[in-house]
Amino acid sequence: MGVSPPEVRAVNETEPATDESPTSAELHAQLRELGERYPHPTWEDVLPDWKWVHAWGADPSLPPERPQKDCWVAVLNGRIVGMGPDPVVLRLAKARELDVHPERLVLSYALGYEPW
């Protein structure tokens, strides 16, 4: 009773990649295209959200709770509207979902906590 060797397949380098994710250049092009649909936000538009996110980051007792894992957070009008590992993907998805200029969202990296 023998053990069969594992099946070996040759890899053809001309086969297309199975990863359907857009490239960084494609994502940035989509951001530019989306941004052309809206007036560009001013500093006065985003300043309150920058103040909010800095206060939230400095005081762990402020709601909402911190994420368990480190991630990017998107803030709009003083509330977190999304979290994710990739700031470009997060900005694009949330701008589309919320129908705002991509630069209207304030993105900040949030250090999470790992429960013991």
Contacts of 116 (CB under 8 A, 6+ apart): none
Of residues 8 and 83, the one with the higher pLDDT is 83
Give the per-residue pLDDT at 19. 63
The pTM of the full predicted model, rounded to 2 decimals, is 0.76
pLDDT for 60 equals 80
Per-residue pLDDT tens digits for 6-64 = 444 444 444 455 568 899 999 999 999 999 999 999 999 999 999 999 999 888 888 88
Instruction: Please report the pLDDT score of residue 18 as a whole number.
Output: 57
Q: Where are the domains of the chain?
A: 44-110
